[in-house]
Amino acid sequence: MPIKKYEKTYEIKSYECDKNGDLRLLTLMNIFQDIADSHASALGIGIEHCLANGLAWMGSNYVIQISRLPKWHEKILLQTWPAVEKKIGAVRDFLVYDEAGEVIIRASSQWILIDYAKRRPVALKGNLPPYQIIDERALETEFSKINDIAQTDFQRNFAIRFDDIDINNHVNNAVYPLWASEAVPPAFRLEHQPGTIEIAFKKEGLFGEDVTVNSELHGLTSTHEIIAQSDGRELAKVKICWKRA
């Protein structure tokens, strides 16, 4: 029997919103993670299977296209599904609908299956039970490379807090776009919202480390390189196309 898109309804709470009553970017990313975890578990390829077999899913890329962010008290419907299966990775897509049935957010994510102890990618075949994909994309993206910045226009430093660490013992994926969005000047941030966000995860960030976000801003596009101060390793790259708030 063909699988269906997995659906879940969320009601936006006050503490999930920013000063304008819009859903926080961090919370949006966590909602994506929540529904993805639920569906993966239902397919038998989730955290339970991974923990029992010494495996872990590691995010490698996200592309998020935001028409608008949902508001406080608004009810949204999320859909997710496995869209592409590769040798060592998989693509999972998302759609967010408002109460009128309009798509307000589209997202696509790419994940790599790793041997947790060795921190090395492994093939999906032979390590996961068979599952079906839905040959449909929320966004037509191949996760293009994010170019290096040519110059540093702005720089922000952040300390990796205990609260930033997830069950895999490294910085949660949701934190990186938050750092990037906080790294532009406050006056610019107050007047703009993310329209499209591209994220490339590179290395793991660990509790107690300090990171530097080097940012370049051209018009309404900002590019961010997130660097660990201890050894200079690049943790992530983020590109944001902004629009007027």
pLDDT given for residue 162 in this prediction: 98
For residue 218, tell me if it sits in a domain. yes
The answer to whether residue 187 sits within a structural domain is yes
In angstroms, rounded to a whole number, what is the distance separating the alpha carbons of residues 54 and 200? 24
Residue whose token pair is 């935001």 = 66
Residues 117, 22 share a domain = yes
Query: What is the reported pLDDT for 245?
Result: 87
What pLDDT is recorded for position 1? 52
Please report whether residue 143 resides in a domain: no
Say yes or no: 114 and 162 in one domain.
no
In a domain, 126, yes or no: no
Q: Verify that 10 and 117 share a domain, yes or no.
A: yes
CA gap 36, 227 in Å, rounded: 28
Same domain, 117 and 169: no
Query: Where a domain ends, among 77, 96, 121?
Result: 121
User: Are 117 and 161 in a shared domain?
Assistant: no
Q: What's the CA gap between 157 and 175, in Å, rounded?
A: 14
Residues 116 and 220 in one domain: no
> Is residue 16 located within the same domain as residue 103?
yes
Residue 135 lies in a domain: no
Judgement on whether residues 103 and 11 belong to the same structural domain of the protein: yes
Residues of the chain under the 70 pLDDT cut: 1-2
Give the burial class of 76: count Cβ atoms within 10 A of its Cβ; 0-12 exposed, 13-18 middle, 19 or more buried.
buried
What range defines the domain where residue 28 resides?
Answer: 6-121
Residue 174 lies in a domain: yes
- 3-class SS of residue 236: strand
Domain end point (choices 98, 121, 144)? 121
Same domain, 116 and 165: no
Domain match, 106 and 191 both: no
CATH number of the domain to which 74 belongs? 3.10.129.10
Query: Is 64 a domain residue?
Result: yes
Are residues 168 and 111 part of one domain?
no
Residue 193 pLDDT = 96
Using DSSP, state whether 143 is helix, strand or coil.
coil
pLDDT of residue 168: 85
Q: How many domains does the chain have?
A: 2
Of 121, 140, 170, the position where a domain reaches its end is 121
Judge if 170 and 236 occupy the same domain: yes
Question: Which residues are bridge partners to 7 per DSSP?
Answer: 79
**Pick from 110, 96, 233: nearest CA to 173:** 110
